[in-house]
Every structure is written in structure tokens, then in C-alpha cells.
């Protein structure tokens, strides 16, 4: 039974989503319990699969329907996908636990349907990471995209237009990916990733223009889904107008899984020396990534709305990861892969903390941060740890991923990228120090009027403790602890998991 673990990862959330529709008469608490149990079982299956991969020290192949690839579809889980699967399952579980109060508040009469969409989004993401077939990946990409449109549209009011723009842009991205797969299928006749790696190493296909066009279309489609500058315009509007739980679910995961798919396409299907020798524009990507990092952080600096600021930080982080992957060396690849884990946890931590603050105070701008240290001390500590990780302070994991990325960039001679990383860290420090100054001293200079009580000192009036509810606190504390633990155990994580997935020749 244990070697059926790969398929359990995808099937359990799917069955949970379908059964949640049937379970509507059993009430909201039952739905919550069912979702959390299903995601916990999924996390267990993901850990079991990772264990299988590490024990065998090679990729686990699972054949659907007992058909041999390339005729049938197979799931392929190696070290990289195993770790990303654990990340996705873990973040989804933490968000599900966190959603107890907010989901019911946002969706009073259709909680089961909302949780069903939640579970289907998780299914789509997990299936994308586990898949070993190009077209299967497209179908799961569309499942996760459709679920995210549905979840984001629950934000109401202004969210509808933002979701519509996201739908148009997302469809362009997915269809570019599909067209790229079509070009590859025409030239090779196969859809299986391992089979394609063999076929594409033939010299006549390496020189072929159509294969280059296919690769370009696939990468463009993935970049649109990933919100790489300058294709990032849809991300801040769509994510910032969503409900609290939705933002905590989509923001850490969807863009990271797209980065994973880019790595898979680049290094497993098309080999590393194809990209860096045959593709003419591969050196330009570093400049694009550097621009993404700097533009993202500067735009975040200019925002008043807390969640919009966090979404611009996501844009900058995507810049880091893309640059690291296209640096063409081992340190850069390690930095990107480690940063997928680190950024997933960081973004989850910050979005949960900000969501708790918005839940308690009802404000979404920086005015919500007034006196947070007195009102919600644990939440504030979580926010500080998340901020430290984004800036890159040891021993949080953000420091180590920047360390690898800078090392890789210095080795490759990409000084533009090094400069962009340092500038972005500096701007992040400015953003978060300003925010925490407001939070600790409660003093706002250009914000809407807080209630005046007549004293002109720095401290606000003594505010009552109104800490976030326990269902929100526990996942926040776990994710903040995870940031520090991941940082401390960096060397183990890299040597057990990531170093096995570095492509040959790096």
C-alpha cells in the first residue's frame, strides 16, 4: 500500500472536495473537520512519498491505469517535487486550520462550496507538481486556475473586475503553454517528460526553429502565470481584493508552483545545455529578473494598503527565483529551489499575520498597525519574524536563500543581479522598519486620524489586548517557527534533498 502513496496525494483532496458537496446538510463544523482531516492525510501521503524517494535515492514513477509510458500517463516524483509537494500540502493544511473564523464570515451560506473550491485548488497544485506528462500538467493548471478565479471572485464588489482581468491574462498564459506543447508534440510525437528528454537530445531537433518556438511559448506561458515583470500587472489587484483565507491560500502557493514548473521544463524536459547554448535570449533573463526584484520592492514601498504591499513583495521574490534559475550554475539553482520553500513559508506567515490584524481591527491600510505590539503581541512577533526573513536576517531562511543566490550570481559574473538583490533587501528593510515603527510606537504622520486623546507623546493610549483567535494563532506560530527551523537546518535540507536535483553539468 505504501507505494500507492503518490496517487493518494492527489486523490484525497479530490475526493474530499466531491464529498463536501454531499455533506452540506451536516453543517459547517463537519465541513471544516472534513477539510482539515483530508489535508492532514494528504500531508502524510506527501511525507511518505518523500520518504520513498529518499530511501530509493531516485525518482518514484507511478503508472496510472498500469499503462507503460509514453502511452499512458505517469506520476514522477523526485527529490525536488517531493519537497515542493510537502510544502504545498503543509501550507494548505495551515491555511485550512486558520480559516475557521474567516471562511464562515466571508461565505455564510455556502461554506461547503467554498471549502470544495479550496480542496480542488490544492488538488490542482499537488497534481501539477507530481505530474510526469505535459498535457496532464495543462489540465491541472486549468483546474487550479479556475478554482482560483472562483475563490478570488468571492471578494465581492471591486474583486469582480480584478478577477476578470486575471481570467483573461491567465487564459492567455495557459493557452501559450498549450500551444508550446503543441509545437513540441508536432516535432517529437510524444507528451511524456522523460521520453521527451531523450527525443529532444537528437541533433536535428536541437537545431530546429520550431522546438525553440515551442520552448519560448511554454516559458512565456509559465512567466505569465508566475507574474514575472513586466507580465505582473494582474497579481496585485487580484490578490489584494480577495478574502483573507483566499489570499493566504493562493499567494504563497500558486506562483511558487509555477516556478517549480519552469524549473521542471528547463532542466528535465529541455536540458540545461540546450537552454544556455541554443536559446539566444537566455542571458537577458537575468536583467528581467533584476528589474523584477527592484521594481517590485519599490512599488511595495509606495503602497498604503498592507496586502497590496505584500503582493508587490511577491513580485520581487519571483524575480529572485527566476534570476537564480537562469544563472546556469549550481549555487544559483540551489538558491532558487531553497527559496521556493523559504518564500512559500514567508509569504504564508506574513499573509496570515496581516489577515489576523485585518480580522481584529477591520482596517486594511497601515493605520491597522497602530499599537499592534500592545494589542496583539504574538501576531506582532510573527510579523517581525516574517519581515526579518524577507529582509534576509540570519538565522531565518531568507538569509540563506539570498546567500546562495548572491554566491551563484558572483560565480556567474552577473553583477547586475547582485546589485538588484542588495538594493531589494535594503528597500525591504526600509518598508518593514517603517511598518514596525508604526506598530510599536503607534505614531502616524500622514495617516487617517486615529482617535485623539489630547496627549502629544509618542505612545498611544493604553489599548486592550485583543489577540487573534486560537485557530489563527497556532498556524501563524507554526509557520514562523518553520522559518527559523528551516534556516537552522539549511545544510541538511540542501544536502538531503536539493543537491540531488541539481542538473548534471552544473
Quick one: 497 exposed, middle or buried, by C-beta within 10 A (0-12, 13-18, 19+)? Answer: buried
Using rule CB under 8 A, residue 446 touches another protein: no
Residues that bind another protein (rule: CB under 8 A) add up to a total of: 66
Using rule CB under 8 A, residue 28 touches another protein: no
Residues 67-96 contacting another protein, CB under 8 A: 67, 70-73
Any residues with CB less than 8 A from the CB of 305 and at least 6 apart, and which?
240, 364, 365
Residues 190-209 contacting another protein, CB under 8 A: 190-191, 208-209
Any residues with CB less than 8 A from the CB of 283 and at least 6 apart, and which?
none
CB 211 within 8 A of CB 205: yes
DSSP 122-166: HHHHHHHHHB-BHHHHHHHHHHHHHHHHHHHHTT-TTHHHHHHHH
Using rule CB under 8 A, residue 41 touches another protein: no
Query: Distance (Å, rounded) from C-alpha 122 to C-alpha 249?
Result: 9
Tell me the closest approach of the beta carbon of residue 242 to another protein, in angstroms.
13
Using rule CB under 8 A, residue 505 touches another protein: no
Using rule CB under 8 A, residue 4 touches another protein: yes
Tell me the closest approach of the beta carbon of residue 186 to another protein, in angstroms.
6
Q: Which of 55, 56, 157, 464 binds another protein (CB under 8 A)?
A: 157
Using rule CB under 8 A, residue 26 touches another protein: no
CB 234 within 8 A of CB 166: yes
Any residues with CB less than 8 A from the CB of 500 and at least 6 apart, and which?
57, 78, 79
Query: Distance (Å, rounded) from C-alpha 497 to C-alpha 502?
Result: 10
DSSP 393-437: -TTSHHHHHHHHHHHHHHHHT-HHHHHHHHHHHHHHHHHHHHHHH
CB 260 within 8 A of CB 129: yes
Using rule CB under 8 A, residue 46 touches another protein: no
Q: Which of 57, 65, 203, 462 binds another protein (CB under 8 A)?
A: 65
Using rule CB under 8 A, residue 164 touches another protein: yes
Using rule CB under 8 A, residue 153 touches another protein: yes
Using rule CB under 8 A, residue 496 touches another protein: no
Task: Supply 290's cell numbers.
Answer: 533584476
Residue-wise burial string across 371-405, b where 16 or more C-beta atoms lie within 10 A, e elsewhere: bbbbbbebbbebbbbbbbbbbbbeebbbbbbbbbb
Between 63 and 434, name the residue whose CB sits nearer to another protein: 63
Using rule CB under 8 A, residue 64 touches another protein: yes
CB 327 within 8 A of CB 263: no
Query: Distance (Å, rounded) from C-alpha 116 to C-alpha 103?
Result: 12
The contact mask relative to another protein for 105-124 (x = CB under 8 A, - = no) is -----x--xx-xx--x--x-
Tell me the closest approach of the beta carbon of residue 178 to another protein, in angstroms.
6
Q: Which of 147, 268, 374, 479 binds another protein (CB under 8 A)?
A: 147
Which span sits near another protein by CB under 8 A: 150-158, 313-321, 403-411, 422-430? 150-158
Using rule CB under 8 A, residue 171 touches another protein: yes
Using rule CB under 8 A, residue 179 touches another protein: yes
Using rule CB under 8 A, residue 19 touches another protein: yes
Query: Could you list the residues that contact another protein (CB under 8 A)?
Result: 4, 7, 11, 14-15, 18-19, 21-22, 62-67, 70-73, 110, 113-114, 116-117, 120, 123, 127, 133, 135-136, 139-140, 142-143, 146-147, 149-150, 153-154, 157-158, 160-161, 163-164, 167-168, 171-172, 175, 178-179, 182-183, 185-191, 208-210, 213
Amino acid at each position: 500500500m505504501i507505494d500507492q502513496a503518490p496517487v493518494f496525494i492527489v486523490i484525497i483532496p479530490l475526493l474530499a472536495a466531491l464529498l463536501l458537496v454531499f455533506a452540506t446538510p451536516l453543517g459547517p463544523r463537519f465541513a471544516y473537520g472534513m477539510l482539515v482531516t483530508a489535508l492532514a492525510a494528504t500531508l502524510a501521503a506527501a511525507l511518505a512519498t518523500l520518504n520513498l524517494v529518499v530511501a530509493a535515492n531516485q525518482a518514484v514513477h507511478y503508472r496510472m491505469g498500469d499503462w507503460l509510458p509514453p502511452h499512458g500517463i505517469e506520476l514522477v516524483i523526485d527529490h525536488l517535487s517531493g519537497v515542493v509537494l510537502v510544502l504545498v500540502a503543509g501550507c494548505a493544511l495551515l491555511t485550512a486550520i486558520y480559516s475557521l473564523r474567516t471562511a464562515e464570515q466571508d461565505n455564510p451560506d455556502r461554506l461547503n462550496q467554498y471549502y470544495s473550491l479550496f480542496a480542488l485548488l490544492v488538488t490542482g497544485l499537488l497534481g501539477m507538481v507530481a505530474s510526469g506528462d505535459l498535457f496532464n500538467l495543462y489540465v491541472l493548471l486549468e483546474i487550479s486556475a479556475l478554482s482560483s478565479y472562483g475563490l478570488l471572485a468571492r471578494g465581492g464588489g471591486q474583486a469582480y473586475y480584478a478577477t476578470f482581468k486575471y481570467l483573461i491574462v491567465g487564459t492567455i498564459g495557459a493557452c501559450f503553454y498549450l500551444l508550446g506543447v503543441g509545437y513540441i508534440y508536432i516535432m517529437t510525437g510524444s507528451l511524456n517528460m522523460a521520453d521527451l528528454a531523450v527525443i529532444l537530445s537528437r541533433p536535428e531537433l536541437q537545431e530546429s526553429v520550431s522546438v525553440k518556438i515551442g520552448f519560448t511559448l511554454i516559458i512565456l506561458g509559465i512567466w505569465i502565470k508566475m507574474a514575472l515583470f513586466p507580465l505582473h500587472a494582474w497579481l496585485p489587484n487580484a490578490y489584494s481584493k480577495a478574502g483573507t483565507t483566499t489570499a493566504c491560500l493562493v499567494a504563497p502557493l500558486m506562483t511558487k508552483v509555477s516556478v517549480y514548473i519552469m524549473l521542471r521544463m528547463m532542466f528535465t524536459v529541455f536540458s540545461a545545455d540546450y537552454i544556455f547554448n541554443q536559446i539566444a535570449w537566455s542571458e537577458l533573463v537575468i536583467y528581467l529578473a533584476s528589474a523584477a526584484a527592484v521594481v517590485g520592492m519599490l512599488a511595495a514601498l509606495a503602497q498604503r494598503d498592507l496586502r497590496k504591499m505584500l503582493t508587490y513583495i511577491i513580485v520581487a521574490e519571483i524575480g529572485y527565483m527566476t534570476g537564480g534559475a537562469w544563472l546556469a550554475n549550481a549555487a544559483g539553482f540551489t538558491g532558487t529551489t531553497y527559496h521556493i520553500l523559504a518564500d512559500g513559508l514567508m509569504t504564508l506567515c506574513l499573509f496570515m499575520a496581516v489577515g489576523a490584524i485585518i480580522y481584529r481591527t477591520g482596517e486594511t491600510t497601515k493605520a491597522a498597525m497602530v499599537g499592534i505590539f500592545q494589542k496583539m503581541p504574538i501576531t506582532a512577533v510573527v510579523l517581525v519574524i516574517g519581515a526579518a526573513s524577507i529582509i534576509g536576517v540570519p538565522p531565518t531562511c531568507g538569509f540563506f536563500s539570498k546567500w546562495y543566490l548572491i554566491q551563484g550570481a558572483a560565480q556567474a559574473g552577473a553583477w547586475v543581479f547582485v546589485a538588484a538583490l542588495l538594493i531589494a533587501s535594503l528597500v525591504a528593510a526600509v518598508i518593514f522598519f517603517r511598518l514596525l515603527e508604526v506598530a510599536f510606537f503607534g505614531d502616524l504622520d500622514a495617516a487617517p486620524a486615529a482617535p485623539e486623546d489630547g496627549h502629544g507623546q509618542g505612545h498611544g493610549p493604553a489599548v486592550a489586548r485583543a489577540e487573534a483567535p486560537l485557530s489563527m494563532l497556532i498556524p501563524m506560530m507554526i509557520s514562523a517557527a518553520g522559518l527559523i527551523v528551516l534556516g537552522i537546518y539549511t545544510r541538511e535540507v540542501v544536502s538531503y534533498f536539493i543537491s540531488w536535483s541539481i542538473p548534471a553539468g552544473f
